[in-house]
Amino acid sequence: MNSFPAPDTVLPHRAPFLFVDRISELVVGKSAVGHWKLNGDEWFFPGHFPGRPTLPGVLMCEAIAQVGAYVVLSDQSMTGKLPLFGGLDAARFRRQVSPGDELVLMVELTRMSSRAGKGVGRALLNDEVACECELMFVLVDA
């Protein structure tokens, strides 16, 4: 089993807004697979929705984007940079995600420059697509 740096050592995100627990695959500057286990204690479940806790779709997109940021920031040429959302296209939500579920987050960068990039991502739940989207980001000085 490959061991990659913990997300909180690569990403600038912190609780309660760090949505990646671990990385299981990484091709630096190209792609990664991350994991997010939802234990039910997350801050958003009590209000979304009482009696039927559901992970908000936009937070699935954010989790995918965080794995994308991990891919970018794992490249030493990006030291001192911060990838920020530049856009989100073609987002589709296909499965409800609930407490106790674990998402597998897959991202592949499709275009990268010194100032911006694009990627595609999916969140899988039990090998079925829960969310998919296209990401655009800009790079700024950290």
- Catalytic hit among 13, 22, 35, 48: 48
Q: Does the annotation mark 48 as catalytic?
A: yes
The domains located in the chain, with CATH, are 15-141 (3.10.129.10)
Tell me the pTM: 0.97
Which 3-state string (H, E, C) describes 67-93? HHHHHHHCCHHHCCEEEEEEEEEEEEE
* pLDDT per residue as tens, the chain (142 positions): 578 999 999 999 999 999 999 999 999 999 999 999 999 999 999 999 999 999 999 999 999 999 999 999 999 999 999 999 999 999 999 999 999 999 999 999 999 999 999 999 999 999 999 999 999 999 999 9
